Chain A
Amino acid sequence: MTSATTTPLVPARAGASLAALLALAAAGFAGLVERPGSVASAVVAGLASALAAGWLARRLATVAVLGGPVRAAAAAAVALIAAATAAVGSGAAALSAGDGVLAALSSTGAALVLGLLVTTPAATALLVPGARARVAGTRPVPAARGTTRRGFLQAGAGSVASAAVAGAAARGLVPDEAAAVARPFRLKITEGDITMVDGSPVFFRGFTTPDGTVPQLPGPPLGNPGPLPANPEITEGEPVRVHITNDTPRDHTFLIDRAGDEGATDPVVGPVRIPANTTTPVEISFTAPAAGTYIYRDADRNNRLLGMHGVMVVLPRAAGQNRPYAPGPDRLEIPAEVVLQFVWCVHGVDPVLGELARERFRDSVIDYPLESFLPRYFFINGKNGTEALHDESTVPVLPMQDATAAQVGCLIRCVNTGVATHALHWHGNHVFVLQRNAVPARPGLVFEKDVLRLDALQRIDVLLPAHTGLDAWPMLTPDHPKFADQVFPMHCHSEMSQTAGGGLYPMGMLTDWHLAGGSVPASGSVPVNGSTPAVEQVRTRLAEQRAAIRRSRSARGRRMRLSVSPSPAPARAGRTTRFRFRTTTVMGGRRRAVRGARIRFGGRTVRTDRTGRAAVRVRFARAGRVRARVTRSGYRTLTRIVRIGRGR
């Protein structure tokens, strides 16, 4: 490094163009490897990062070196800039697509190193052996002029297009039809314990929301399952995007199939492999199939039984969406829209399978033959027993059918994600089968069903008329005391499914449905969601009952955890020992200190500080077991046994 010659290495525009081109290649390569995000956000991110790339490239072009490995350094710098541009675009696009900061950082890092894999060899190949770089002394080029406004614009504009395309390429590649959807559905594969109705913990694998920690049973819906308009709707023929992350240490698959078979016989999607420990979402794009009800699931049966399933609801494109399918000459005619739509996803759980999955947590597939599967818990939408009788996702509350109303009742999409055949039986009325496995019933005869057989993986959409059975006796007139709120049960006729934990009745697969009388519209259509005053009255009462159940459960208090560490350890009889305590609890998925807990130990009482810690010095005369008791308002009392060893 002794030479004092200062020479620009690469002409400004050439450097800028090269950087932009390499950025394009890097982003394209990274995009081929990972494809999350959306085109719109990618273009914005691409424009922003392209400006930076142009400016940096312009600066690069005027790099002056003082000897040394000049061309290799220049090539490396070009490669770094190009890869960084693509990476920044990728990260920004991930952020704007709502992937979260961690996912965006992960995406940026991955795009950077993947980009460098392309740009470093390419830039070295182009710059080092070539004659473009003017080596000091051979052919002096004009002295670096610095960054002028014109040069900046030229370099910037030249690279804007490339980098914008690069950013887009990194995030979504071609702006296909599927990418036009504004927001993807986001799922996370996770695992964890869910407490059953009898208090027993059962281990599940399943899907949840991106911020969820334990599986949802069933997984978050794709589309809007009703009755609450909580989710974006999916209409047949529309592009759909699903982003899936995998929080578990094993690979899984994602499958949506039209047929009701175990295997993928007529798939809408997949099976798509979802790699283990995926923090960057795997994007799955597809066109919504025909209107109807579908199951998304892991393609492996045991994983589905462990909870890896959910429901996708596709609405018809034309003639009002509150129908199971669009009218057609080859389809059963439905004269009017339905008042409400529900999904009843029925499922059976075997805790032994869950325990095996816990033990073999790295195994994507659990060896557990079908004949071994013995369900002990039975769910409707993840609820059973008393829970399902009050849950708004399982209990239809319908306004009594008015003869002049345009609506015809409630559409219930019955889905069996388990392996046992179920037989759903409605009291109060019969149902009409409208659709099986997303295939509309044919015109002509339609059968009233008192008991609906529902095989494994079958989806049957039925219409529950919003009036009492036509043969009900005595007739329910407005003068009848039960007219205002007629409650009817729905339960499975398979007897074992009415129990939980091997015999707890009636804690199984059952729920209610309500017919609310009162003031019904004299004419015209029923309000959205069937919200007549009488219906709202019933719903309010159910909500109060739900709240009462929650209150009575929380009255038992949150659990605390206590750790004790005697000092000097181990604690010995006959000598004074300082016992340190720490009380914690789990709130919002995190372990937090419990302040102000009262700890009674060795005849002394102390309170924990804001870090949940407390200490007490005690001398025990005899060896044995000593009890430490922790109490705090709102928490369950906790007792720990501390052993005192023999003194020496």
Chain B
Amino acid sequence: MPSSTLVLDSRRALLAVIAAAWAGALAGAVLLAWPSPGGGSGAAPRVETRTDAAPAPGLGRRIPVSFGSLSVDSASRLTGPRRAAGLRLRRGDLPLQVAVTFVNTSSRTVRFSPSLFRLLPAAGTPAIAATGGDLAEQRVGARRARRFVLRFAVPGSARQLPDLEVRDPAAGTRTAVPLGTRRALPSFDHVGHTTGPDGRAHP
């Protein structure tokens, strides 16, 4: 036999060739019957992933809740006339403003209450409730989004700001949102409506 001749010298090899061809044909039939990309060629199956896969809580991050989602959009140091901030500030207190957005995707009205939010300072210190901003209970209509502003008087001078605890009104689950450091806190003049150093809006 010439050296350039292919030799199939075992039944196993023959069967392998036959099996490969027919298995491929079967796969082709399946692909044809189950068209995907370009009408059938996007053979690479893909694990379905969602882009909202459990991000760590933080400013500007979505927090899934029973009625849809909410987000703590910004935290800022209030500047300008202190009295007008509507806060009782003692010496050394930080006037902190937090903006939250409710996105109600449910078909029922959701009630916003400032009691859903509180600041969690260091262990052993009582939680801080909002004493300014949108203190009245308000409604977020079905399939509506709405923004609320809460103001806190944060005592102490710790560099690290306390976390903002968010409570889901229906499920009762609590999520702690880190607010970062005092140093990184942008400012917001609530009278002049001038924003902090990052140029973004901080209501």
Contact = CB atoms under 8 A, between A and B. Distances in A.
B190 interface: no
A59 B201 contact: no
* A35, A73, A200, A640, most chain B CB atoms within 10 A: A200
Interface in B1-30: 1-11, 14-15, 17-18, 20-22, 24-25, 27-29
Interface in A277-316: 277-283
B56 to A, nearest CB: 5
Contacts of B61: 201
A355 B103 contact: yes
A192 interface: yes
Contacts of B68: 352, 355
Nearest to A107: B41
A634 B143 CA distance: 39
B156 interface: no
Nearest to A117: B28
Contacts of B198: 549, 552-553, 555-556
A636 B105 contact: no
Contact of B178 (A112, A116, A249, A638): A638
Interface stretch (A337-345, A403-411, A498-506): A498-506
A198 B147 contact: yes
A34 interface: yes
A362 B61 CA distance: 22
B39 A33 contact: yes
Given A80-B24, A117-B28, A351-B101, A275 B8 contact: no
Contacts of B52: 193, 203, 358
Contacts of B192: none
B2 A62 contact: yes
A372 interface: yes
B199 A386 contact: yes
A116 B61 CA distance: 49
Given A144-B2, A191-B51, A120 B60 contact: no
A171 to B, nearest CB: 11
Given A72-B18, A275-B35, A625-B123, A114 B28 contact: yes
Nearest to A358: B52
Nearest to B31: A113
A66 B10 CA distance: 7
A120 B42 contact: no
A624 B123 contact: yes
Interface string A512-535: 000000000000000000000000
B33 to A, nearest CB: 10
A144 B4 CA distance: 9
A456 interface: no
The bracket for how many chain B residues form the interface is 35 or more
Contacts of B27: 113, 116
Given A200-B101, A639-B160, A110 B184 contact: no
A79 interface: yes
Interface in A52-81: 59-60, 62-66, 68-70, 72-73, 75-77, 79-80
Interface in B48-91: 48, 50-52, 56, 58-62, 68-69, 71, 73-74
Contacts of B11: 1, 68-69
* B1, B15, B31, B105, most chain A CB atoms within 10 A: B105
A245 B25 contact: no
Contacts of B9: 1, 66
Given A275-B37, A281-B38, A356-B105, A553 B200 contact: yes
A501 B145 CA distance: 9
A361 B44 contact: no
Contacts of B4: 59, 62, 144, 146-147
B113 interface: no
B18 A73 contact: yes
B145 A502 contact: yes
B60 A200 contact: yes
A277 B37 contact: yes
A279 to B, nearest CB: 5
A477 interface: no
A109 interface: yes
B38 A283 contact: yes
A109 B37 contact: no
Contact of A245 (B8, B37, B62, B71): B37
A491 interface: no
B60 A114 contact: no
B56 A561 contact: yes
A637 B181 contact: yes
A193 B51 contact: yes
B138 to A, nearest CB: 12
Interface string A178-205: 0000000000000111010111110100
Given A33-B32, A76-B22, A351-B101, A62 B5 contact: yes
Contacts of B5: 6, 8, 59, 62-64, 144, 146
A568 to B, nearest CB: 23
A116 B123 contact: no
A557 B181 CA distance: 11
A119 B21 CA distance: 9
Interface in A98-115: 102, 105-107, 109-115
B38 A102 contact: no
A83 interface: yes
Nearest to A84: B24
A214 B52 CA distance: 12
A372 B7 CA distance: 72
A278 B180 contact: no
B167 interface: no
Interface in A25-51: 30, 33-36
24 contacts: A8-B5, A33-B41, A66-B7, A76-B21, A79-B21, A80-B21, A109-B43, A109-B44, A113-B25, A114-B41, A116-B25, A144-B2, A198-B101, A198-B201, A199-B200, A200-B73, A201-B61, A249-B48, A278-B38, A280-B41, A281-B37, A282-B39, A368-B143, A641-B163
Closest 8 CB pairs of A and B: A117-B28, A278-B37, A116-B24, A146-B4, A34-B41, A146-B2, A199-B73, A76-B21
Interface of A: 1, 6, 8, 30, 33-36, 59-60, 62-66, 68-70, 72-73, 75-77, 79-80, 83, 102, 105-107, 109-121, 123, 143-147, 191-193, 195, 197-201, 203, 214, 245-246, 249, 275-283, 350-352, 355-356, 358-359, 361-362, 368, 372, 374, 376, 385-386, 500-504, 507, 549, 552-553, 555-557, 559, 561-562, 624-627, 629, 636-641
Given A117-B28, A191-B51, A193-B52, 7 more contacts: A33-B40, A106-B41, A147-B4, A275-B35, A355-B69, A504-B201, A549-B198
